[in-house]
A and B are shown apart, each in its own frame.
Chain A
């Protein structure tokens, strides 16, 4: 039988999460499970105190885990993330879905987390230090406390690009999505390429990142990047597309994003 536990603050709620519990953020994922009788949890933990603050700090921009996609769209601090938040759900979902929840979204969801991975975000959990998002994602299936915020670097809109490939527009789940941080502008220096729906969690394409380092952003310059576009990725078959299809089209979408061809 399901129980709902409500706590006054995040620290108390953090003490209550664990096996057989789900933390309720915006509800878009947890309530789906509740409605469909998901038996993997029987406790819903929630908190009256919600951190929706998005603010500049010395180490970057701190986004409270309770910030919604609509909060991101309303914030000038994270203008570079508007292109991502705008493509998630319809208006009602964007008013509900939170940054913290997106970190735990299973395929085909998790577009924002793919963007955060490309941005080398740090994940802050109650009572522990910042953790790089890549290591956070690799361990996210084990309950390890409550996320209170993520920290992203300050990035100009020009050097961060995002594309979502879906069959239904303007609103539809991702067949795949990709985010690229072209650190340094002209010729990227130590760039990041992250893919969503190309593995069990969002994944970085490290071979492609190395090939993109210092490359010129033209057909010839990015050819070596495209040749290794899907190295290290692990796409799966699902109702939206086959793993084969995803591997076939990934490089096409990466090319369009890097050359800014027909990207919406």
Chain B
């Protein structure tokens, strides 16, 4: 079986891996390069657990043919923290009890990250829309929405302090 050589950027580091024909990105991330942060849920685009950013835009890794990310920039929740310092979104999720079983969390974080990159001060409605493709069966969503809004505030505060 002919395998294809694939190189891409994963959370600011170069990744190189051989992929099987038809392999999806979630398998390649988890098994090929060992980034276990994105989860595979439904493998059909319904749950959003595998949400990653490709060139800064949310994509479902389970429905992405791995070889289409050749030369592109892939970001997962595994790259959010800066060493021991959690990203404000991760901190807000932890402090606001926005993760219970945790299976949706990696996808939620990346969907939220893409929103805050684009809209630093989102409304509650914009947050709900941004995570509308991500299912959570534990929290009832409210703590997640609150955590994203809290992180947005925190990040705005940080930006003000840096000025």
Contact = CB atoms under 8 A, between A and B. Distances in A.
B105 interface: no
Determine chain A's interface SS by DSSP, over half rule: mixed
Interface of A: 1-4, 6, 24, 26-28, 31-32, 34-36, 44, 46, 70, 89-93, 95-96, 170-171
B132 A35 contact: no
B138 interface: no
Nearest to B20: A2
11 contacts: A3-B2, A4-B4, A32-B63, A89-B133, A90-B48, A90-B131, A91-B111, A91-B133, A93-B45, A170-B128, A170-B129
A91 B58 contact: yes
Interface string B58-90: 111011110110000000000000000000000
Contact of A3 (B21, B64, B131): B21
Contacts of A170: 128-129, 132
Contact of B65 (A1, A27, A91): A27
A171 B129 CA distance: 9
Contacts, number: 84
B22 A91 contact: no
Interface secondary structure of B, over-half rule? mixed
Which of B21, B63, B68 gathers most chain A CB within 10 Å?
Answer: B63
A35 B59 contact: no
Given A91-B58, A91-B114, A1 B21 contact: yes
Contacts of A4: 4, 21-22, 65, 67
B22 A90 contact: no
B67 A90 contact: no
A92 to B, nearest CB: 4
A4 B45 CA distance: 21
B114 A96 contact: no
Scoring A31, A44, A90, A96 by chain B CB atoms within 10 A of each residue's CB, the highest score goes to A90
B132 A91 contact: yes
Contacts of A3: 2, 21
Given A2-B22, A92-B60, A24 B65 contact: yes
